[in-house]
A and B are shown apart, each in its own frame.
Chain A
């Protein structure tokens, strides 16, 4: 697209998990299917994308973060990117909030916000696919989408369109409990304690007796999936990303 001198409406920032993690790759492809379905002109950076630097920053390595950030900003600015949708709340937070101070200012949205926009504009509906009508779904707020950036409604609006039975966990929205992956925890063993954070969270999710647990973050996805497996509930409860649910509802 770039070679043809065209500029995309939106850049889809896939993220490391979305690129490499097998489970998250499915979500990546579903986001692409949705973009394709509504006929939006989008681009991905492919092999030119690199880690935003988020895990380095949260682990305290500001050098490495800024090296990554500046290299990415150079690429994004070179392509004259104006608007970015990310498949991961961590990428979303970093590019939206921490890149502007380093010379990278873009309009950044998370994929749940994009889906909500498309629904609001009437470009996307929940038809032609699997029906979620009356199905019990509970939504887990990712910290870096919810508390960190105040995005609580977009993912819920997307689920409301499905006519599903949306049940909230005791700790939700601003009081949502972390899945245990943030702050670079994803990449290390937890400290000594009496329980893993994702177990605490999955017990709360399962207490709502859901058929689906909706997620919006590839790291939460891993943690929640592991939790469901450990609780031996894989058959009864499926953990799906908001994008996957949307794609399924539209038969994509």
Chain B
């Protein structure tokens, strides 16, 4: 009975704490400008099913695709087992679904195979990161916390799977010994290999079984509450992120309505804009970005596919699209903490541009969309880069000198070079 009460309190506390932190994340995302992405719900749903649920964009790299698929399937399917654990925990039952008979054995057997797969995949992932040191997982932005974060996630998953399999092994042994409560149920294709490692007395087996059971479920609640602080949040946010992703061609950049109003007013003095609130042009800080940009930042799992295909990064420039996303999230977290501490109007004198992302980075972008194409969950670092450029150019008139010269030429000659418009048709005279 005591354990049931402890379990229920733990479950409620774990869920409540997660809800509290998730609300903060939602509040932070809402610091951004509202963007209407309520159009084309069917196409959006299909995109989500294909890209997030179906993992289609992962397939470009077969090895990580396969390993990630195992972990993903493991995560989704083994969670069915958590349902049983939750019921057992709350009602003091043991293997409440055992009555399903053969189907139950099939389920438990499949969970075990998946759990072993997840275990192995995570070990390989750790090797790739820490021993093989794949280039994709390095870079200036991948030091300290991001580096540890990745390892913590993998180690936690390995521990959870180990607990799950050890629990099953102890359970099966108890079943064989005919211990009370441990009714014979389930099939244990993997954990049966662990029997030799376990003691043979009922008391120690029960201790091990219970310890692993609690470790597994407490671990899951702890992991749930780790998500909002971690890159691992993508396991949830990948779904809304792909749902709200851009559906127009990648080359189509937004036309700023505020500018349209001003340009129309300039061309036609009698024009009265419907919405006369120009506000700031472009983005200096996270509040100037769209909520989609901010959701993107929380969704990023720092896999580095974007950076590994970025022409600027490949050729040694400072720009890294992954860093753009990580900086945006870090700044958003900082602004969120300021709100918690000092209230909504607090200014800390810092901004995303300059304090996090430098001018050198934003001007190195070729706008080639390789990062956008590469992202397995449809994150768009390019849009953030463009918004920062817009701020630099339109609010501050600060750009590299040669860019200013080009802009001057377009304005005066209708071409990015210093040629006379009268010569535009001269090509027809050559051969």
Contact = CB atoms under 8 A, between A and B. Distances in A.
Nearest to A22: B430
A62 B394 contact: yes
Contacts of B9: none
Nearest to B415: A16
Interface string A209-238: 000000000000000000000000000000
B151 interface: no
Contact of B416 (A51, A191, A195, A199): A51
A23 B411 CA distance: 24
A93 interface: yes
A20 B430 CA distance: 11
Interface string B345-377: 000000000000000100111111110110000
A181 to B, nearest CB: 7
Interface string A138-178: 00000110011110000000000000000000010011111
Contacts of B424: 14, 19-20, 46-47, 49
Nearest to A181: B366
A55 B410 contact: yes
B268 to A, nearest CB: 10
Nearest to B310: A178
Interface in A97-149: 97-98, 101-102, 143-144, 147-149
Contacts of A68: 410, 414
Interface stretch (A77-85, A182-190, A243-251): A182-190
Contacts of A171: 309
Contacts of A7: none
A194 B267 CA distance: 46
A148 B394 CA distance: 25
A187 B402 contact: yes
B68 to A, nearest CB: 19
A101 B255 contact: yes
Given A25-B427, A143-B368, A149-B249, A195 B315 contact: yes
Contacts of B262: 63
A249 B415 CA distance: 32
B196 interface: no
Given A60-B389, A63-B263, A143-B369, A193 B315 contact: yes
- Measured as residues with beta carbon below 8 angstroms from the partner, the interface class of chain A is 35 or more
Contacts of B179: none
Interface residues of B, number: 69
A191 B318 contact: yes
B428 to A, nearest CB: 8
B403 A59 contact: yes
A187 B363 CA distance: 12
B408 to A, nearest CB: 10
B425 interface: yes
B160 to A, nearest CB: 35
A62 to B, nearest CB: 5
B27 interface: no
Contacts of A196: 315
B251 A51 contact: no
A60 B362 CA distance: 11
Nearest to B386: A60
Contact of A191 (B249, B282, B360, B414): B360
A200 B364 CA distance: 15
List the 4 closest A-B pairs by CB distance, nearest first. Answer: A148-B251, A183-B367, A60-B389, A194-B316
Interface of B: 60, 248-253, 255-256, 259-260, 262-264, 266-267, 281-282, 309, 311-312, 314-319, 360, 363-370, 372-373, 386, 389-394, 399-400, 402-403, 405-407, 410-411, 414-417, 419, 421-428, 430-431
Given A61-B394, A70-B264, A183-B368, 18 more contacts: A16-B414, A18-B427, A19-B415, A44-B425, A47-B424, A53-B410, A58-B253, A58-B367, A60-B392, A62-B281, A93-B252, A144-B251, A150-B249, A184-B406, A191-B317, A191-B363, A196-B315, A200-B315
